[in-house]
C-alpha cells in the first residue's frame, strides 16, 4: 500500500507540554492526522490558549509534514444543545460551543466534532429543530470559519443524529449550511444498524441523503457489539463485530482518501494501542494475536 493514508488517533493534551505533547504523541504512533480535546472531554473548564504551547506544536507539525487542515478537535461530550427545556442550560451549551469553535481556530484547525445531543423525551423532531437553532446562534457569533462536524450516533438513550436522514435534516434547517459537515463513526454507525461490510453502499447512501462532500472525518473503531445493538462500546481493531478486514477496507477506500480517519479504540493495560493499529492499517495486514501480545 503506497497511498498516503490519513490516519491517526485521539491524543491527550496534558501538562507540561500540552499541544506540543499532543503532536509528539501523534508522531510517536506514526500518525498523519489526529484528534484532540482542548481540555477535559467531560467538562467545559478550559485553560487559556496562551498556556497550551500552541506555537511550538504547530512548528513541530510543519517539520513533521502533517497537514494542519486535517486535524480534528472534539467538543466536550456533556454539551446538549438539542434540548431547551431549561433555557439557561441550553444557552450555556451554545456559549460552550462558541468557545470551542473559537479555540479550534486558535489551534489553526478547521473542524470541530460535536455530538448532536439528546432529545430527553421531546422527540427527535423537536430536538433536531432545537439543535439547528442553537448551531445558527453559534455561527452568528463565533467569527470563525471552523466547520462543525455532526457525529453519527448509535441510538442509545434519546440520542439524535442516529440516521443519515436525521443529520441531513439538521443541516437542512440551518441558515449556515456551509459551516456544517459530518463525522461518521464506524462503531456508532454499525451499532445503529448500518452494514459496513459493503462500505461503498454506505457511502452511496450517505451521498444520496447528505452529500459526500459533507463528510469531514471518520472515527474508525471496532465495536464490542453486533450491528443494531445501540450500545456504543468501542473495541480494538479486529477484536469486535466489525472486524479488521471491513475497517481496513474503509481506511483504504479511495472515495475517502482525503478524509482523516481517527482511532478512538480502548487502551490495553493502560497503554495506547494506536501505534500498533496504525501499523496494521498502513500495511493492510492484521497481526494475529496482537492484542494478547501487546
CB contact at 8 A, 108 and 152:
no
Q: What are 120's three cell numbers? A: 430527553
Identify which of residues 151 and 235 has a Cβ nearer to Zn ion in the complex: 151
Identify which of residues 134 and 218 has a Cβ nearer to Zn ion in the complex: 218
Identify which of residues 105 and 114 has a Cβ nearer to Zn ion in the complex: 114
Identify which of residues 60 and 277 has a Cβ nearer to Zn ion in the complex: 277
CB 219 to Zn ion: min, Å: 6
Nearest residue by C-beta to Zn ion? 151
Identify which of residues 151 and 277 has a Cβ nearer to Zn ion in the complex: 151
In the three-class reduction of DSSP (H, G, I as helix; E, B as strand; rest coil), residue 177 is classed as: helix
CB 185 to Zn ion: min, Å: 6
CB 151 to Zn ion: min, Å: 5
- Sheet with 111-114, strands from edge to edge, namely 7-9, 261-263, 215-219, 180-185, 147-151, 111-114, 72-74, 35-36
Report the alpha-carbon distance of residue 265 to residue 221 in Å, rounded.
Answer: 6
Site string for Zn ion, 133-172 (x = CB under 5 A): ------------------x---------------------
CA angle, 197 as apex, 195 and 202 as ends, to 5°? Answer: 55
Identify which of residues 60 and 265 has a Cβ nearer to Zn ion in the complex: 265
CB 37 to Zn ion: min, Å: 10
Report the alpha-carbon distance of residue 259 to residue 254 in Å, rounded.
Answer: 10
Residue-by-residue DSSP string for 226-281: -TT-----EE-TTSSSS-HHHHHHHHT-GGGTTS-EEE-PPPBTTB--HHHHHHHH
Relative orientation angle of helices 164-173 and 199-209, to the nearest 10 degrees: 30
Size of the residue set binding Zn ion (CB under 5 A) = 1
CB 56 to Zn ion: min, Å: 27
CB 73 to Zn ion: min, Å: 11
Q: Does 100 bind Zn ion (CB under 5 A)?
A: no
Identify which of residues 102 and 152 has a Cβ nearer to Zn ion in the complex: 152
How many other CB atoms are found less than 10 A from the CB of residue 28? 12
Report the alpha-carbon distance of residue 42 to residue 176 in Å, rounded.
Answer: 27
CB 153 to Zn ion: min, Å: 8
Identify which of residues 60 and 117 has a Cβ nearer to Zn ion in the complex: 117
Report the alpha-carbon distance of residue 146 to residue 240 in Å, rounded.
Answer: 34
CB 12 to Zn ion: min, Å: 16
Pairing state between β 180-185 and 72-74: unpaired
Q: How far is CA 76 from its chain centroid? A: 11
Binding residues for Zn ion (CB under 5 A)? 151
Amino acid at each position: 500500500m503506497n497511498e498516503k493514508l490519513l490516519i491517526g488517533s485521539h491524543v491527550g493534551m496534558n501538562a507540561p507540554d500540552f499541544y506540543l505533547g499532543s503532536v509528539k504523541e501523534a508522531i510517536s504512533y506514526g500518525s498523519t492526522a489526529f484528534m484532540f480535546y482542548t481540555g477535559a472531554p467531560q467538562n467545559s473548564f478550559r485553560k487559556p490558549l496562551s498556556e497550551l504551547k500552541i506555537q511550538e506544536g504547530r512548528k513541530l507539525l510543519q517539520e513533521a509534514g502533517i497537514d494542519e487542515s486535517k486535524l480534528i478537535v472534539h467538543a466536550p461530550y456533556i454539551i446538549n444543545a438539542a434540548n431547551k427545556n431549561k433555557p439557561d442550560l441550553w444557552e450555556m451549551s451554545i456559549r460552550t460551543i462558541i468557545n470551542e469553535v473559537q479555540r479550534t481556530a486558535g489551534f489553526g484547525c478547521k473542524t470541530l466534532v460535536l455530538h448532536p445531543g439528546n432529545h430527553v423525551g421531546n422527540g427527535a423532531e423537536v430536538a433536531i429543530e432545537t439543535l439547528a437553532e442553537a448551531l445558527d446562534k453559534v455561527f452568528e457569533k463565533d467569527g470563525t470559519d471552523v466547520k462543525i462536524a455532526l457525529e453519527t450516533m448509535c441510538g442509545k438513550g434519546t440520542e439524535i443524529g442516529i440516521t443519515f436522514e436525521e443529520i441531513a435534516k439538521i443541516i437542512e434547517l440551518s441558515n449556515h449550511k456551509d459551516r456544517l459537515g459530518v463525522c461518521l463513526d464506524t462503531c456508532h454507525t454499525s451499532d445503529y444498524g448500518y452494514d459496513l461490510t459493503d462500505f461503498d453502499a454506505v457511502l452511496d447512501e450517505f451521498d444520496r441523503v447528505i452529500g459526500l462532500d459533507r463528510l469531514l472525518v471518520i472515527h474508525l473503531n471496532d465495536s464490542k457489539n453486533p450491528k443494531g445493538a445501540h450500545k456504543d462500546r468501542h473495541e480494538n481493531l479486529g477484536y469486535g463485530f466489525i472486524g479488521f478486514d471491513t475497517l481496513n477496507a474503509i481506511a483504504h477506500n479511495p472515495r475517502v482518501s482525503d478524509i482523516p480517519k481517527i482511532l478512538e479504540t480502548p487502551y490495553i493495560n493502560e497503554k495506547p494501542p494506536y501505534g500498533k493499529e496504525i501499523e496494521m492499517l498502513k500495511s493492510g495486514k492484521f497481526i494475529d494475536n496482537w492484542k494478547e501480545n501487546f
